[in-house]
A and B are shown apart, each in its own frame.
Chain A
Amino acid sequence: DVKVTQSSRYLVKRTGEKVFLECVQDMDHENMFWYRQDPGLGLRLIYFSYDVKMKEKGDIPEGYSVSREKKERFSLILESASTNQTSMYLCASSPPVGSARGQAYGYTFGSGTRLTVV
């Protein structure tokens, strides 16, 4: 069963801490994504990556950075955590958009990491 695995289900961090959220996929997907989900605001794209070492900003990149050193792993970094970054974080992966695989399978999401910054 193919999957996207997020390293932590729940995480509590202190304001100002540097936080790493890890995501690993076993589907050999080229694209990987980080979203955050907040009540009333839906899913919002933070960053995405379409290849190793490549990244692009999404709609709300401020306060975040990402790292993709290997194809299967995409890390989201909160450089200095703040309380307004308390949220559910969702990682996803997909084949290239224009490929037959990309059309057929869409996105596969992880189960999410619920981060609380205190």
Chain B
Amino acid sequence: DAKTTQPTSMDCAEGRAANLPCNHSTISGNEYVYWYRQIHSQGPQYIIHGLKNNETNEMASLIITEDRKSSTLILPHATLRDTAVYYCIVRTTSGSARQLTFGSGTQLTVLP
């Protein structure tokens, strides 16, 4: 699986958009980009995923560059409850079931 690189930490003001970057320069054609977040002392929570088109759901938007080597997760109006570790993961849709490898993630702190 392609490795991902994320900043260790970021701050964001409450009510502002939080833009979390992720580099995945070795991503292959059959690998999706997934984003999860983990609020302190809870299990990770699925946010969004995409292959090459930009995606939006009720939680966030995902912008994937045309060359697919990087992506950005956007929380349009961050709240204090969005403070969490955000994981960017690339995952194939073929082969065995084990291809969900979590890196260190980005600690997002939303400031009042």
List residues of A whose CB falls within 8 A of some B CB: 4, 31, 33, 35, 42-43, 45, 48, 50, 56, 58, 90-92, 94, 96-98, 102-103, 105-112, 114
Some 26 contacts from A to B, beta carbons below 8 A apart, are: A33-B100, A35-B102, A42-B105, A45-B98, A45-B100, A50-B97, A56-B96, A56-B98, A58-B98, A90-B44, A91-B43, A92-B44, A92-B100, A94-B97, A94-B100, A97-B95, A97-B99, A98-B94, A102-B93, A105-B46, A106-B36, A106-B100, A107-B36, A107-B100, A109-B45, A112-B42
- Which of B44, B46, B91, B101 is the most central at the interface, judged by chain A CB atoms within 10 Å of its CB? B44
Convert B70-97 into 0s and 1s, putting 1 for each residue whose CB lies closer than 8 angstroms to a CB of A. Answer: 0000000000000000000001111111
B30-66 to A contact mask, C-beta < 8 Å, 1/0: 0010101000011111100100000000000000000
Task: Select B97's contact among A35, A96, A110, beta carbons within 8 Å.
Answer: A96
Q: Which residues of B come within 8 Å of A, CB atoms?
A: 32, 34, 36, 41-46, 49, 91-105
Say what secondary structure dominates the interface of chain A.
strand
Q: Indicate which residue in A50, A106, A111 contacts B43 across the interface (CB closer than 8 Å).
A: A111
Q: Which residues of A contact B103 (CB under 8 A)?
A: 42
Q: A42-B102, A42-B104, A43-B102 are in contact. Are A97 and B44 (CB under 8 A)?
A: no
**Which B residues are in CB contact (< 8 Å) with A50?**
96-97
Alpha-carbon gap, A67 to B112, bound state (A): 46
Given contacts A50-B97, A103-B32, contact A108 B46 (CB under 8 A): yes
Within the complex, what minimum Cβ distance (angstroms) separates A108 from chain B?
Answer: 7
- In the assembled complex, the Cα of A15 lies from the Cα of B45 at a distance in Å of 32
